[in-house]
Every structure is written in C-alpha cells, then in structure tokens.
C-alpha cells in the first residue's frame, strides 16, 4: 500500500478515502501498528485529552511503542483531576514522550486576559487555548491519531477510520468501538479510570464547560451545555484551514 508523508506534498482526501476503505473492517491494533511502525505514514502523534476514554487508546499505543509522541493540550482551564490523571496514566503506561502543550501567554493576554472568554465566546476561547497550540505542535507531524468513536455523539456517527485533515491524515482506530468494548478492554487491562467518571462525567473537557450527564443523555451532552457547540475546533472539520 503506497503512502507518502507531508514532505512529498502531503496527504489528501484521496489518500484518506483509500485508507479508510482499506482499514474499515480491520482491528484498531492493525491500523495503529501500521501507522506507527511501517514508516509509510510519516511522523505520527497521538492527540489525547487524558479524559474519560483516553486510557484504552494510550494503552494500545504503548503496547506498540511507548516512545510515540503524545500531544496533550493543557488549556489551563482543565479540572485538577485531569492534570493528576495525566501524570498518573503516563506513569502507569510507561509513556516516554508526552508533550504538554499550553496556550501562548501573549495570545492569552490579547484574547482572554480575564480567563472568561469561555462564558461569552467559547469558540474563540477554544481557538486560543486548544486549536492554536495543537496546530503549532502538529506542524511537525504528517498525521495524528484520535480516540473518537461513533457511539459518542450523533455528530460522530459516520466517523471514518481515516480522514484528511488539511495536508495530513487523521486516524480514528477506535471509530467502531462501542462503549461496552471500551469498558471491557479497560477492565481486561486494569487501566486506571479518570477520577471524574465515577462522579457522572462520561466526557471530560475543561472545567467551566463540562457538566454532569444524566442517565439516558448522550455521553457528550455535558460538554458546552446550553450552547450550540459540540466540538472544540480541533475536530470541527476535516477541511479546517487551521490544520
């Protein structure tokens, strides 16, 4: 299977479509192993929020190569429990290259000096605290791996295993995993849970924008509750010009 990294002109929608079809029925481990070890996909990082479901993907990656770069965007508005969990899970899995990304101080002073932008312009807040730091880090990579799954929200119902994301590819090896499959794998591997899951948070983002989810609600219903917003901008569009 021929693939070409960004230096050779980048990947595009045709590459994504071809790979999405090729891996549609293959297990997550096969896609991850090929992407991380074959050398055909260029430089690839994992993007992780160290949230409710993050442990399973990170464990699968650690089984293949603990040196894989892991990009963790610390927006400086995360729950303290998430900071603790990121350190704990890193140690537990023996991850060797977790990169903590933070917003640029100058940009925060210009765009969010009182740290209240989330309350009146969450898109603008996500832009400066998440999208910009991640875009800067991803400039050094040809592709990235996300832990998104189709069952998480109706907006993710058609998620392919591979997407085009500007000049790079985005891999979603867990796209077809159910919530039960994730739980079973976490139990099998005795992975430590995010401490807030037991308190009613099945999806965990920044503290001001995450609320508890009631029984029967979509797992991401607690994210930006009351706003017409379902994604932080990192995953908004496969054609997002930021990436």
Q: Which of 194, 143, 212 is nearest to 172 (CA)?
A: 143
Tell me whether residue 47 or residue 125 sits nearer to ligand SF4 (CB atom): 125
Residue 45 is a binding residue for ligand SF4 (CB under 6 A): no
Question: Is 101 a residue that touches ligand SF4 (CB under 6 A)?
Answer: no
Instruction: State yes or no: residue 126 binds ligand SF4 (CB under 6 A).
Output: yes
Q: How far is the CB of 3 from ligand SF4 (least distance, A)?
A: 33
User: What would the DSSP string read from start to end of 19-45?
Assistant: HHHHHTTS-HHHHHHHHHHSSSS-SEE
User: Counting contacts by CB under 6 A, is residue 208 touching ligand SF4?
Assistant: yes
Nearer to ligand SF4, 195 or 208 (CB): 208
**Does the annotation count 126 as an active-site position?**
no
Residue 220 lies near ligand SF4 (rule: CB under 6 A): no
Measured from each CB, the residue nearest to ligand SF4 is 206
Query: Which position has the token pair 């017409």?
Result: 228
Rounded distance between C-alpha atoms, residue 22 and residue 44, angstroms: 19
Are 78 and 206 in contact, with CB atoms under 8 Å apart?
yes
- Among 224, 204, 202, 228, CA closest to 215: 202
Residues annotated as catalytic are 232
Binding site for ligand SF4 (CB under 6 A): 75, 77, 118, 122, 125-126, 129-130, 205-206, 208-209, 232
């Amino acid at each position: 299977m021929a693939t070409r990294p960004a230096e050779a002109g980048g990947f595009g929608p045709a590459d994504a479509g071809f790979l999405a079809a090729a891996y549609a029925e293959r297990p997550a481990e096969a896609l991850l192993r090929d992407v991380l070890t074959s050398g055909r996909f260029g430089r690839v990082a994992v993007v992780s929020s160290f949230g409710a479901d993050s442990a399973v993907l990170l464990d699968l990656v650690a089984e293949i190569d603990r040196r894989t770069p892991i990009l963790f965007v610390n927006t400086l508005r995360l729950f303290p429990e998430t900071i603790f969990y990121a350190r704990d899970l890193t140690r537990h899995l023996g991850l060797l290259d977790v990169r903590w990304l933070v917003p640029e101080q100058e940009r925060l002073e210009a765009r969010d000096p009182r740290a209240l932008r989330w309350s009146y312009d969450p898109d603008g807040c996500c832009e400066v605290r998440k999208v910009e730091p991640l875009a800067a880090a991803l400039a050094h990579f040809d592709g990235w791996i996300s832990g998104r799954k189709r069952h998480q929200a109706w907006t993710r119902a058609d998620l392919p295993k591979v997407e085009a994301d500007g000049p790079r590819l985005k891999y979603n090896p867990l796209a077809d995993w159910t919530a039960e499959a994730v739980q079973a794998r976490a139990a099998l591997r005795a992975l430590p849970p995010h401490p807030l899951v037991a308190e009613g948070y099945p999806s965990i983002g920044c503290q001001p924008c995450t609320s508890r989810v009631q029984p029967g609600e979509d797992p991401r219903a607690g994210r930006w509750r009351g706003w017409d917003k379902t994604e932080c901008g990192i995953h908004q569009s496969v054609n997002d010009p930021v990436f």
